[in-house]
Structure 1
Amino acid sequence: MSWQAYVDDHLVATGKITKAAILGKQGGIWAASSGYNLAQKEQDAIVKTAFTQPDQLRANGITLNGFKFMTIRADDEEVAGRKGERGVFIIPTNQAILVAEYDAPTIAGDANVVVAKLADYLKSVNY
Structure 2
Amino acid sequence: MSDDPFEAIKVTFFQECAELLGDLEANLLALETGEGDIETINAVFRAVHSVKGGAGAFGLEDLVRFAHVFETLMDELRSGRKECDDVTIKTLLRASDVLADHIAAAQGTGAPVDAARSAGLVAELEVLTHGVAA
TM (norm. structure 2) is: 0.31
Of Structure 1 and Structure 2, which has the larger fraction of its residues in helix?
A: 2
Between structure 1 and structure 2, the one with the greater Rg is 2
Which one has the bigger strand percentage?
1
TM-score of the superposition, structure 1-length normalised? 0.32
